[in-house]
Structure 1
Amino acid sequence: MVTYLPISSPFIRFAGRYVDDAFGVAAGWNFFVFEAAMVPFEITACNMIITYWTDKIPIAAIIVIVLALYILLNLFAVQWYGESEFWLALGKVLLSTGLIIFTFIVMLGGNPLGDRFGFRYWNNPGSFAEFYKTGDPGRFLGFLACLIQASFTIAGPDYVSMAAGETINPRGVLPKAYNGSLCVGILVPHDDPNLATAFKKGLPGAAASPYVIAMDRLNIPILPHIVNAMVLLAAFSAGNSYVYCASRSLYGLALDGKAPRLLAKCTKNGVPIYCIAVVFLIALLAFLQVSNSASVVLEWFVNLVTASQLINFSVITFTYTRFRKALIAQGIPRESLPYISRGQPYVAYVALTCTTIMAFVGGYTVFLNGNWDIPTFLFSYTMIGVFPIIFVGWKFYHKTTFRKPEDIDVTTGVEEIEEYHRNYVPAKPSNMFSKFGDQVFG
C-alpha cells in the first residue's frame, strides 16, 4: 500500500481512508499509546543497565536525569535531535555488528578456554525449555512465552512506512527497506544457572544478557562493561526517539481534529509543546520502579507495548485486505502496483489471525493457578479494551460509515506520485561509501 501511495503516517491514514474514519482514529490513538509507553520502558531499562555497575544511585535520580536530558533534546535543542540520533544510532549498529562477530569468533574456538562449542547447545539441552508445567504442556507454555516476547520485537516495517511521505524515490527505496534480520543466540544453554538466576531475581543491566553471561563463562574480561555501556546508549537513544515520535503522532491527531485542538499549539520553533508535555506525563510512569522491582515494571510495559503493537499490525493487515478488495472492485489490476507481495491475500489473513490471537494470549500467565496479578492483567489487556471503545465511540458520535470496496478512494494522490517518479533522476553517489551502499542495498 505504501509503495503505491507513499504518504506520511500511512497505516494510520489508510485505516481511515480504506476502512472507516473511526478505525483510523482508533489506530492513531493506539499507535500513540504504543509510542508513549515505550518512553518509561526505556527509562526503566536505563536504570537497570546503570545498576549493573552500581546500585548506589537513587532510582528517582536516574529517572529525573534521563527525563531532563529528553526535555533538553526534544524541547530546547530540537535542532540537535537529528544529529544526536545519528551518532546514537551508529552506536546501535556497532553494537549489533560487534555482537554478531563476537558470536561467530567464540563459537569457533576464539576464546580464552579454546572451547569450539559451535551449535552444541542446540542439541544439549535442546531448544524447548519447560515453563510453569512439566512435559509437553510445559514446553508448549515455554514456546508460547518466547512467542510473546518475540511479538514485542517485531516493530520495523511500520516505522519504515511512517517516513514514506518524506522519502526520496519512495517506490524505489521502500520495497528494499522491508527486510529483516534474525540473530539467534547460540552462546548459552537455556538451563545455564547464571541465566536462570538473572531472570528469576531480575538482576540488572546486562547481567541477564546471554552475551554477558557467555563472556563470563569464557573468562573474557572488559567486554561485558563495553556491551553494557553501548546497551545503555541504545536504550537512551530509543527513549529519545519515542519521545519525538509519540509527540508528533499526537500532534498529527490534533491537526486532523482527532485529538484536542490545544495539542496542535507549537512554539515559535515549531515544537508541539503540549504534545511533548503529555508524553512526559506518561513518562512519569517510570517512577513505578521506585516502589516495585525494575524488572517487574519493565515486564508491565512490555505487556502493554506488545498488545498495542499486535493491534497495530492487525490494523495494518485488515486495512490491506480492504485495499485489495477496493482494487478488485474498481478494476485496478494488481500487476500495476509498484510492489507486489507474494501469497496475498492469504498471507494477510494469516497475519491478521495470528496477531489478533497473540494480542489476546499475551497475558495468559495471569490466568494460571496462583498467578493472578491485577497490574499484569491491566497492562496486558487495557488496549484490547480501549481500542474498540474508541472505535465505537467515534463511529457513533460522528456517524462514520464502513467503506464499501467500490467507494474506497484509492486514486487521490496517486497521479502526483507517478508524475514525481516519471521525472525523478537518481543522484549519482557522491563518495565511495555511497557507492558501496548502492551496490550492497541496491
Structure 2
Amino acid sequence: MHSSETGNPPVPEEKKRSIDVQTDVKSLAEGLGSDDSHAFDRTRRNLKNRHIQLIGIGGTIGTALFVQIGSGLTKGGPGSLFLAFTIWCTFILAVNNCLSEMVTWIPVSSPFIRYADRFVDPALGFCAGVNFFVFEAALIPFEIVAFNVVLQFWTDKIPTAAVICFLLVSYCLLNFFAVKYYGESEFWLALGKAVLAVGVIAFTFVTMVGGNPLHDVYGFRNWNPSIVQGAPFAEYIKEGSLGQFLGFLACLIQASFTIAGPDYVAMAAGEAKDPRRNLPSAFNGVFYRLACFFILGSLCVGIVVPYNDPDLLNAISNAHPGAGSSPYVIAMQHLRIPVLPHIVNALVLSAVFSAGNSYVFCASRTLYGLALEGKAPRFFTKCTANGVPVYCVGLTLVIALLSFLQLSENSAVVLQWFVNLVTASQLLNYATISFTYIRFYKALKTQGISRDTLPHKSFWQPFCGYYAFIGTITMAFVGGYTVFLPGRWDVPSFLFSYMMIGVVPLLFIYWKIRYRTQWQSLETMSFFDKERMEVEQYEHTLTD
C-alpha cells in the first residue's frame, strides 16, 4: 500500500540555478524529497505543441472511420449511423473534459493510470493499468496484420513474414531512440489521416452536387425511403420499430468502439514541452475533431452509398482487402472515378501504420506508469539517455511478435480471438477515467481548492464525469447483447464480449486483498505534490 505524500522540504540553495530543460529539470525532484513507494520519472519533455496536436488527431482517427464504418451502415442505415455517432461523440467529449482538467494540472507519465491509484485506490490503478496495457499491446499485432491486408489491395505477392519484419523494425526504430522521433513520425502520419478525412468529406460534397464523371446530382437520395427501402433507418435482426431500434443500437455499439482520442493526448503528457500551455489547446481541439471527422464522416458515408448496396454487402461479407470494403471506394467505383481508390488505400495504409506506432507508444508508457507506481517490476523504470523506457518498449515489441501467428491459418484465428477478448477494454478505461475525475472533483471541493486556480478548468462539471461514467459502463455491458437474443446464444461470442468485464474486477480484488490497499480519503488525498512542483519549476526555466 502506498503511503500518502507529505510536504516537501525547501529547495537547497545550490538547486536554485538555471536548469537545463532537457537534462536537469527532472533531477530537481530528487532534491525535493522522495517517496520510496514510487520510482523516479526519467522521461524527457521532447514533444512539441505541433506533435501533441497531431497525436490528438492521429489517436482520434482510425481506419474504422473509412472502412469498417460500412458495417454499421448496413445494419442501421444512414439515419441510425449519423444519430449514433453524434450521440457517442458527446460521451467522448465528456471523457475529454474529465481528462483535460486533471492532466493539465498534473501532466505526468501514464496519467490516468496513476490518477486511479492516487485519487481512488491503488487496486484500481493496478487493474486499470493492466487493462489498458493489454488492450494497447493486443492491438499492435492486429494492426500489423491489417497492414498486410490493406497492402493486398494492390498485390499479394509480398511475403507476409517480410511485411511483419518491416513493421516491427520500423516501430523499433521510431520508439527506441528518442520520443522526438515518435512525435515526428506521428505528426506526418496523422497529417495524412487528417488529409484523408477532409478529402472524403470534400469528395462527398462535390460528387453529391454533380461533380462526378456521370454528372449525377444524387444529393440525399440514399436517405429517401421512396428510393431506398427502409431508409434512413434500417431494420436489423427484427422487423418494424424494434428492428430499427436494434439497427440504431448496432451503430451505437460500433461508434463506442470506433471513436477515441483524448486518452492518446493524455498519454503524451509526461513528455510534452510546456504542457500547461500546449495540452489545453490539444484537448480543446478534440471537440472540433469529433464534430468534423466523426459526425460529418458518419453523415457522408450514408450519402455516398445506400445501406443495402449489393457491392457494399458483398465487400463486407467477403472481406475485400484494404479499402476495397470502404463505402467511399465503392462509391468511387460506382461513379467511375479510377484513381481516387488507390489514393484512399495509400492513406488508409499510412493510417494503419500510424495506429500500430501509437499502440507501441501507449502500451510502453502504460507499463512504465505501472512500474513508477510499484505495480510492475522496478527494472521497467529504466530509461535511456534520451528518456525512452527501454525495457517497456522492448516487452511491447516482444508481444507484437504474436503477429507472426498470421503465417498459420489456424493461429490467425487464435490471434483474432485474443483481440476480440479486449474489445470492452476501451470502454472500461473510459469508465475508470470518469470515475477517477469524480473523486478528483470531490477531493478538491473537500480540501477547499478552488477549480478556478487550476491551469485549465473544463466546463459542465461534475455533470460530464457522471454522464461519461454511466454511458461508458453501460455500453461495456450492452456490447454483446445479441448473444442473449432467442436463438443467438454462442459461448465464444459471449466470452469475447464479456471476458475483460469479468477479469478487471478480479484484478482489483487480487491487488486489494494481497496488499490490503485503502480507499483514498477525500480529506487527505495527495495531488502529486512532488510532480507538480517539478512541472512548476520546469515552467519557470522556460520563462527565464
Tell me the residue number matched to 1:327. 444
Distance across 2 between alignment mates of 1:425 and 1:273: 32
| Letter aligned with residue 11 of structure 1 | F
| Letter aligned with residue 291 of structure 1 | E
Distance across 1 between alignment mates of 2:218 and 2:167: 40
Q: 1:382 to 1:273 in 2, by over 3 A?
A: farther
1:46–1:232 Cα contact (<8 Å) kept = yes
2:186–2:354 Cα contact (<8 Å) kept = yes
29-38 vs 58-67, greater mean Cα deviation: 58-67
Decide which of 282, 286, 291 is 1:177's aligned counterpart.
Answer: 282
Distance across 1 between alignment mates of 2:409 and 2:489: 20
Distance across 2 between alignment mates of 1:79 and 1:319: 30
Tell me the residue number matched to 1:12. 113
1:303–1:363 Cα contact (<8 Å) kept = no
1:362 aligns with 2:463: no
Distance across 1 between alignment mates of 2:411 and 2:155: 16
Distance across 1 between alignment mates of 2:282 and 2:497: 31
1:247–1:279 Cα contact (<8 Å) kept = yes
254-263 vs 155-164, greater mean Cα deviation: 254-263
Decide which of 125, 128, 150 is 2:233's aligned counterpart.
Answer: 128
SS at match of 2:107: coil
1:38–1:301 Cα contact (<8 Å) kept = no
Tell me the residue number matched to 1:435. none
Distance across 1 between alignment mates of 2:113 and 2:418: 23
TM-score (norm 1): 0.85
Q: 1:311 to 1:328 in 2, by over 3 A?
A: same
Tell me the residue number matched to 2:340. 223
Tell me the residue number matched to 2:142. 41
Tell me the residue number matched to 1:409. 526
Deviations along 1:61-88, one digit per CA (max 9) or x if unpaired, are 5434433443454457988544433333
SS at match of 1:406: coil
387-396 vs 62-71, greater mean Cα deviation: 62-71
Q: 1:74 to 1:176 in 2, by over 3 A?
A: closer
Q: 1:261 to 1:379 in 2, by over 3 A?
A: farther
Distance across 1 between alignment mates of 2:109 and 2:185: 23
Distance across 2 between alignment mates of 1:334 and 1:362: 36
**1:38 Cα offset (Å):** 1.7
SS at match of 1:6: coil
**1:314 Cα offset (Å):** 0.4
Q: 1:331 to 1:313 in 2, by over 3 A?
A: same
1:286 aligns with 2:406: no
Greater relative CO, 1 or 2 (CA 8 Å, sep 6+)? 2
SS at match of 1:202: coil
1:326–1:410 Cα contact (<8 Å) kept = no
Tell me the residue number matched to 2:325. 208
Decide which of 146, 149, 154 is 2:254's aligned counterpart.
Answer: 149
284-293 vs 273-282, greater mean Cα deviation: 284-293
Distance across 2 between alignment mates of 1:285 and 1:423: 44
Q: Which runs of 5+ in 1 are unaligned?
A: 427-442
SS at match of 2:155: coil
Distance across 2 between alignment mates of 1:39 and 1:127: 36
Distance across 2 between alignment mates of 1:285 and 1:368: 34
2:267–2:365 Cα contact (<8 Å) kept = no
Q: 1:62 to 1:135 in 2, by over 3 A?
A: farther
Distance across 2 between alignment mates of 1:65 and 1:44: 12
Taking the TM superposition and a 5 Å limit, the aligned residue runs for 1:60-79 are: 60-75=161-176
**1:151 Cα offset (Å):** 1.3
| Letter aligned with residue 223 of structure 1 | L
1:45–1:298 Cα contact (<8 Å) kept = no
2:115–2:436 Cα contact (<8 Å) kept = yes
SS at match of 2:164: helix
**1:371 Cα offset (Å):** 4.1
| Letter aligned with residue 223 of structure 2 | W
1:41–1:301 Cα contact (<8 Å) kept = no
Distance across 2 between alignment mates of 1:264 and 1:411: 18
Residues paired across the two proteins, number: 425
| Letter aligned with residue 346 of structure 1 | F
Distance across 2 between alignment mates of 1:39 and 1:363: 23
Taking the TM superposition and a 5 Å limit, the aligned residue runs for 1:14-29 are: 14-29=115-130
Tell me the residue number matched to 1:431. none
SS at match of 2:103: coil
**1:96 Cα offset (Å):** 2.2
Deviations along 1:25-51, one digit per CA (max 9) or x if unpaired, are 111111111211220221121122122
**1:300 Cα offset (Å):** 5.0
**1:417 Cα offset (Å):** 4.9
Q: 1:63 to 1:28 in 2, by over 3 A?
A: same
297-306 vs 313-322, greater mean Cα deviation: 297-306
1:345 aligns with 2:446: no
SS at match of 1:2: helix
105-114 vs 93-102, greater mean Cα deviation: 93-102
Decide which of 212, 220, 224 is 1:119's aligned counterpart.
Answer: 220
| Letter aligned with residue 113 of structure 1 | L
2:189–2:350 Cα contact (<8 Å) kept = yes
TM-score (norm 2): 0.70
Aligned residues: CA RMSD: 3.0
Deviations along 1:345-386, one digit per CA (max 9) or x if unpaired, are 222112111100111122223334454444443332232122
Q: 1:288 to 1:376 in 2, by over 3 A?
A: farther
Q: Which runs of 5+ in 2 are unaligned?
A: 1-101
Deviations along 1:232-267, one digit per CA (max 9) or x if unpaired, are 121012212212321232233234321133544567
**1:414 Cα offset (Å):** 4.5
1:399 aligns with 2:516: yes
